[in-house]
Amino acid sequence: MIDNTRVDDTNRIANEFNRYFANVGPSYASQTSQNQTCSEHFFNNNKTKDLLCMYPTDPCEVSDIIKSKNSKNSADHDGFTSELIKTISDELSIPISVIINRSIKEGTVPEAMKLPEAVPI
C-alpha cells in the first residue's frame, strides 16, 4: 500500500522503500533541537530509560565478529570485499574497537561513518 493504494509494481515498491529509508534520518533530525549535541538529551527520559545498554568491546570480539560473517563477492562503497576485510580483520580490530568504545562512551558516531546507503533489492 502506497498512499492507501495497492501497488504491485516492484520498481515502484523498491523506490518507495528507498525514499523512506533515505529520508528517515533527516526527517527525524529535523524534529529534534539542533542545540542538543549530547546523547543524554535524547535518552534522559522515562520512555528510553534502560531501553538500550551497550558494553565496551575488545579487538578479539571485533575480529571474531568480522570472521563470522558470510563472504560475499560484492564490494563496499570503497571497493573492499568481505574476503579482504576478513583477511586483515586482526589488524582492523584494534582501531575498530577503539572507535566503538569511544562511540559508546561519548554517545556519538564519527561523521565519516554516517554514510547512508539504501540499495533496493
**Domain ranges across the chain:** 50-113
Q: What is the pLDDT of residue 59?
A: 94
User: Residue 120's pLDDT band (boundaries 50, 70, 90)?
Assistant: low
> What's the rounded Cα separation, in Å, for the pair 79 and 82?
10
Q: What is the pLDDT of residue 110?
A: 82
Segment (H or E) for 26 = helix 10-30
Residue 75, beta-bridge partner list: 81
> What's the rounded Cα separation, in Å, for the pair 108 and 31?
18
Helix axes 59-68, 89-106, angle to 10 degrees: 120
Q: Taking residues 73-93, what's their average pLDDT?
A: 89
Query: Grid coordinates standing for 53?
Result: 545498554
Asked if residue 42 has pLDDT above 60, the reply is no
Q: Taking residues 58-70, what's their average pLDDT?
A: 93
Global pTM reads 0.51
> What's the rounded Cα separation, in Å, for the pair 61 and 68?
11
